[in-house]
Chains A and B, each alone.
Chain A
Amino acid sequence: MVPLWMYLVVAAGLFSIGLFGVLARRNAIAILMSIELMLNAVNINLVAFWRYKTPVDLSGQAFAAFVFVVAAAEAAVGLALIISIYRRRQSVIAEDVNMLKW
C-alpha cells in the first residue's frame, strides 16, 4: 500500500490551499468553500490514521462522521448568514461587512 505519510502530505496540501482561500479570497461564499476544503483535509487525516494505526477500533471513522455533521451545520448557517448580509448590504465581500468595526 501507499505509505501513511503520503496521505498526510495530500491532506496538508489540501488544508494549506483552504487556508490560503480563507485568508485571501474576498467573496464570503468562496471563503466558505475554502473552509469545506480544510474540513475535508482533516477528514482525510482522520481516516488515514484510522486505517494505518487502529483499523479494528473505529474511532477514526466515527470522528470523521461527526465532522460531516458539523460541516453540514456550518454550511447551512454560514450560507444563511451570507444571504442575510447580502439582503442588507447588497454585498458578499467580506471587507464590506464592517458594521461592528466602527
Chain B
Amino acid sequence: MELTVESVVFLILSAITLGGGLLVVTTRNLFHAGLYLMLSLLGVAGLFVLLAAPFLAGVQVVVYIGAIAILIILAVMLTPSVTQMPAIFNRNWALNLALAVLFFVLLVSVISPALDDLGVDNWSANFTEDSPAAVPADSIVQLGKDLVDPDQYMLPFEVASVLLMAAMIGAVLLVAPGKAGDEGGDE
C-alpha cells in the first residue's frame, strides 16, 4: 500500500477507532469509558465518510454519539456507587482474552492476503481490490427511495419502526415507578 493521503487518513481513523475501543474495555471509570466510546464511534463515522457513505456517517454521529452514548453515560450517572469497582474484569478474564485474540487471529487468517502468499488457501483474493467502481452521485436519494420502495425495503422499514416504538414503550414501562414493577420487593 503506497502512502497516499487517503491511506494516512484511514490509518489515523482506524487508530482512533481501535484505540478508543480498547480504552472502553479497559478503563476503570465507566464515565470515561463512555467518553472513549464516543471517540471510537466518531472514528467509525470517519471510516464511513472514507467509504463514501456520508448519510450513514451523519446518522452515526446523530444516533450513536448523540443519543446512544449519551443514554449510556446517563445510565452510568444513575448508578453512582459502581463507577470505581475494585475489579473490572471477572475471574475468567485471561481465558476470555485468549478467546478474543484467537477469534481475531481466525478472522485475520481468512481475510489477510499476507497469509495467502504464504500458501494458506483463504478468501483474501476477493478482498485485495483497491479501485472499486464509482458510487452513483445520487446514492443518498436512491437510498431514501429504496427504503420506502414496496419492492425493496418497505416492509423491513415499517417493522423497524414498530420495533423502535415497542422498545421505547418497553423501556418506559421497565423503569416506570409504581404500577409496572413492585419496587424492590422481591427479597
Contact = CB atoms under 8 A, between A and B. Distances in A.
Q: Does A associate with B in a complex? A: yes
Interface of A: 1-10, 12-21, 23-27, 29-30, 32-34, 36-37, 40, 43-44, 47-48, 50-53, 55-56, 58, 61-62, 64-66, 68-77, 79-84, 86-88, 90-95, 99
- Per DSSP, are chain B's interface residues mostly helix, strand or loop, or mixed? helix
Contacts of B117: none
Contacts of A95: 90
B128 A5 contact: yes
Interface of B: 1, 6-7, 10, 14, 17-18, 21-22, 24-25, 30, 33-34, 37, 40-41, 44, 47-48, 50-53, 55-56, 59-60, 63-64, 67-68, 71-72, 74-76, 78-79, 81-82, 85, 87-90, 92-93, 96-97, 99-101, 103-104, 107-108, 111-113, 124, 126-136, 139, 142-143, 146-147, 152-153, 156, 160, 163-164, 166-168, 170-172, 174-175, 181, 183-184, 186-187
- Per DSSP, are chain A's interface residues mostly helix, strand or loop, or mixed? helix
